[in-house]
Amino acid sequence: MNLSQRLVNWARVKSPWITLFNSGACNGCDIEVIDALTPRFDIERFGILAQGSPRHADILIVTGPVTAKQASRLKRIYEQMPEPKYVIAMGACGATGGVFRGLYHVVDGVENVIPVDAFVAGCPPRPDEIINGVVACLGLLKEDLAHGGKEWRRKKEPAPPPAPAAKPVEVHA
Amino acid sequence: MAEVIVPVGPQHPALKEPVNFKVVADGETIVRLELDVSYNHRGIEKAAESRDFVRVVPLLERVCGICSHSHTTVFTKGIEEAMKLTIPPRAQYIRTIVAELERMHSHLLWLGVAAHEVGFNTLFMWTWRDREAVQDMLEEMTGNRVNYGTNEVGGVRRDLTPEQIQAALKRLPKLEERLAKYAEMVNAEETMLLRFKGVGHLTKEQALQLGAVGPTARASGVDYDIRRDDPYIAYADIPWKVITDTHGDVYGRTLVRVGELQQSLEMIRYCLQNLPAGPIRTAPPRAAPRAEILTRYEAPRGELVHFIRTNNTDKVERLDIRTPTLANWTSVAVSLVNQNLADIPVIVAAIDPCLSCTSRITVVNPKGRHVGEMTWDELSEHGREFYRRRGRR
C-alpha cells in the first residue's frame, strides 16, 4: 500500500460523509437523522458530514420500507456512490418493512433492493443510536481495509435452505 | 429567452419525504410548476381496512412521523364519535398537551429549516437545540421522541405523574425566553427580512380559492382554525387565541408560526396546571356501529381530515386521509409564479411540506442541448449567491 492510498484510507475512517435517502419512510427516522447533526448530538464530532449528493458520500442511510416506486431510484442512488460504500438501513421499516410489511406498494426492507452493511433498530431509532450505527459502520470499514475488501464477510457456503422468496420488485418508470 | 424546465426530485439531502416537481423557468423567473407527490405511497388506507381498531392506531401513527399524534387523535376521535363514547377529561387534557408539544416541535423544526434554506444556519442550530427541550418533555411523558403511541380508542395509554408534570413545568420558562427571542428576531434580523418579505406572496382571495389551510392560510388573513371553529379534545376549555397575519408572504407565515409557538406554550402550561383528576380511558366496545364520520383536526400544518366509514365490525370499511400538505401544494404552485428561481427552496419550505424533495436537479435546456446537474444544496447555494450579488433591494 503506497503512501497516498494510506492517506486516503486514514482520511476515510476519520471523516466519512453520509447521505440520507428517504425510500418511503414516515419522516420519523429522517428528523432523527437531522437531529444527530444539531448541537445536542453533533455528529460532526466524529468528522461525519452530511452530504447532499450520493456521488460524494461514503455511507448511505436509507429510511423507510422502500416503496415500489422508490426501489429503482434507490438502486440508482446506490450505483452512483463511489467504492468503498456502506449502507445503513434505519429502523424497523428498513429491516423488515416494520408496520408496513406486506402492503401492496412496499418491498419490505432495504435488503431486497441493495446490500446492507448495518441495521439500526428502533421506531424510530434515537439519534444516539444512529451515531452508534455509523460508528459501528466505521469499525466495519477499518476491518474491510485490513482484509482488502468486503469479500471476507460474505458467507462461503450458499445458505442451506433458500429463504422465502422476496416479493418481486415491481419497478415503475 | 426560451423557457427552461428544471426538474427537482425525488431525493433530497437533508429533509423529509420525496417529491418531484418540474419548474418551468424563463431565465431566473418561474413561469409554472408541475408536481408529482406519489413517491411515498405505501397503501396505508387499504391496510387500515384489514386491521382492527387496536392495531390500526400504530399504523396511522406512521402516516407521518412529524405529525404522528395528529393522525391518531383525529382517527380515535372519529371512531369514538361513531361508538358514541365520552372520553374522560383527563385523557382529553393529556391528548391536548401532547398535541401542542407536537405543534411546538414541528414549528421549531420548520423555523430551523426555513432559516437553513436562506443560509442562516445559526438560527437552524438554535431552534433545533431548543427543540430538544420539547423532545425531552415528549419523551418523559410518552416514552418516545417521535412516534408517541399515546392514543388508543377510548382514551390514552399513559397517565402523567406529578413528577412528570413538575419536570415539564420547569422546562417551560427557558423555552418561553427563547421564543420571545425568536419573535424579536423575526422582526429585526436583516437576513430574514431580506429573504422573507414579499417572497411567495399569496392573497386572501387566492388562499380561499385554492383551499389553503393552516399557517399558510392564516398568514394570508384567512381567520380559520379548527381548534376554535370545531373544537375537539380540550380546546374549548383553554384560553388561547388564533394567530393571523395579513402579509401573505413567507414573512407572514413566519410571524404566524412564531405566534402559534407562544400560544402553544401557554396552552401546555394551562393544561399541566389544570389537569383534571380521574381515569384516563374508558373501555370501548369491540365493534363500531354502521356510521360515516368526517373528522377534522388542526395539525401543525393545517386542517387534517379523516373520512371514516364503519360497518358493525371491529375494522373500518373505508378510511380516507386528506393531509394539510396536499391542500397547500396548489398554493405553492401559484405563489412560485413570477418569483426568482433562487427563492424556490424558501417558498417550498414555507408551507412546511410534509413531503421531501431531491438532492439532484437536472437543468435541461432543450434549445442549446445543454444538460447540467444541480443538487438541492447547489440550488440553495445559488439562492444565497444570487442575493449576495444582488445586494439589498
A62 in contact with B, Cβ within 8 Å: no
Percent of the residues in chain B that have a pLDDT greater than 70, as a whole number: 88
| pLDDT of B200 strictly over 70 | yes
Contact B44, B33 (CB under 8 A): no
Q: Chain A contacts of B50, Cβ < 8 Å?
A: none
Q: Chain A contacts of B68, Cβ < 8 Å?
A: 26, 28
B145 in contact with A, Cβ within 8 Å: yes
Q: Is residue A160 part of a domain?
A: no
> The CATH number of the domain where A71 resides is what?
3.40.50.12280
Contact B53, B361 (CB under 8 A): no
Average pLDDT score over chain B: 84
Is B39–A24 a contact, with Cβ atoms under 8 angstroms apart? yes
Spatial separation of the C-alpha atoms in residues B199 and A76, rounded to whole Å: 35
Q: Chain A contacts of B14, Cβ < 8 Å?
A: 20, 34, 50, 52
Give the gap in angstroms from C-alpha A20 to the nearest C-alpha of chain B: 6
Interface of A with B in 110-169 (CB under 8 A): 123-124, 126
Q: What is the pLDDT of residue B282?
A: 92
Is B128–A29 a contact, with Cβ atoms under 8 angstroms apart? no
B128 in contact with A, Cβ within 8 Å: yes
Highest mean pLDDT among A50-59, A161-170, B120-129, B353-362: B120-129
Ranges of each domain in chain B: 3-40+334-390, 44-322
Is A27–B128 a contact, with Cβ atoms under 8 angstroms apart? no
Give the gap in angstroms from C-alpha B66 to the nearest C-alpha of chain A: 6
B377 in contact with A, Cβ within 8 Å: yes
| pLDDT of B163 strictly over 80 | yes
**What are the CA-CA distances from residue B301 to residues A29, B83, B355 (Å)?**
19, 28, 12
Is B13–A52 a contact, with Cβ atoms under 8 angstroms apart? yes
| pLDDT of B245 strictly over 70 | yes
Q: What is the pLDDT of residue A157?
A: 62
Q: Chain B contacts of A25, Cβ < 8 Å?
A: 17, 40, 65
B198 in contact with A, Cβ within 8 Å: no
**pLDDT tens digits, B252-298:** 999 999 999 999 999 999 999 999 999 999 999 989 999 999 999 99
Report the DSSP pairing between strands B29-36 and B3-8.
Answer: unpaired
Spatial separation of the C-alpha atoms in residues B121 and B114, rounded to whole Å: 10
Interface-testing mutation among B62, B67, B110, B125, with chain A (most A C-beta atoms within 10 A): B62
Is A67–B16 a contact, with Cβ atoms under 8 angstroms apart? no
Give the gap in angstroms from C-alpha A158 to the nearest C-alpha of chain B: 33
Spatial separation of the C-alpha atoms in residues B305 and B220, rounded to whole Å: 21
Chain B residue nearest residue A107, CA to CA: B42
Q: What is the pLDDT of residue B65?
A: 83
Q: Which pTM value belongs to this model?
A: 0.85
Which of B71-103 are b and which e, b meaning 16 or more Cβ less than 10 Å from the residue's Cβ? bbbbbbbbbbbbbebebbbbbbbbbbbbbbbbb
Q: What is the CATH number of domain B44-322?
A: 1.10.645.10
Interface-testing mutation among A21, A22, A81, A171, with chain B (most B C-beta atoms within 10 A): A22
B41 in contact with A, Cβ within 8 Å: yes
What total number of domains does chain A contain? 1
Q: Is residue A158 part of a domain?
A: no
A108 in contact with B, Cβ within 8 Å: no
Nearest to B358 by CA among B3, B2, B8, B5: B8
Q: What is the pLDDT of residue A162?
A: 61
Q: What is the pLDDT of residue B376?
A: 62
Spatial separation of the C-alpha atoms in residues A155 and A146, rounded to whole Å: 18
Give the gap in angstroms from C-alpha A159 to the nearest C-alpha of chain B: 31
Q: What is the pLDDT of residue B15?
A: 46
* CB nearest to A105's CB, from B41, B62, B124: B41
Domain holding A29, by residue range, is 3-152
Spatial separation of the C-alpha atoms in residues A169 and B10, rounded to whole Å: 19
> Which position has the higher pLDDT, B18 or A84?
A84
Q: Chain A contacts of B16, Cβ < 8 Å?
A: 22, 27, 30-31
**pLDDT tens digits, B314-365:** 999 998 888 888 888 778 878 888 888 777 777 877 777 765 322 223 334 4
User: What was the ipTM of the complex prediction?
Assistant: 0.82
Is A73–B44 a contact, with Cβ atoms under 8 angstroms apart? no
DSSP A163: P
Spatial separation of the C-alpha atoms in residues B44 and A44, rounded to whole Å: 36
**pLDDT tens digits, B57-103:** 998 888 888 888 999 999 999 999 999 999 999 999 999 999 999 99
**pLDDT tens digits, A131-150:** 899 888 888 888 888 887 77
Query: Which range among A1-15, A158-172, B261-275, B368-382 shows the weakest confidence by mean pLDDT?
Result: B368-382
Q: What is the pLDDT of residue B170?
A: 93
A31 in contact with B, Cβ within 8 Å: yes
B370 in contact with A, Cβ within 8 Å: no
B69 in contact with A, Cβ within 8 Å: no
Q: What is the pLDDT of residue A108?
A: 87
Q: Is residue A165 part of a domain?
A: no
B10 in contact with A, Cβ within 8 Å: yes
Is A28–B109 a contact, with Cβ atoms under 8 angstroms apart? no
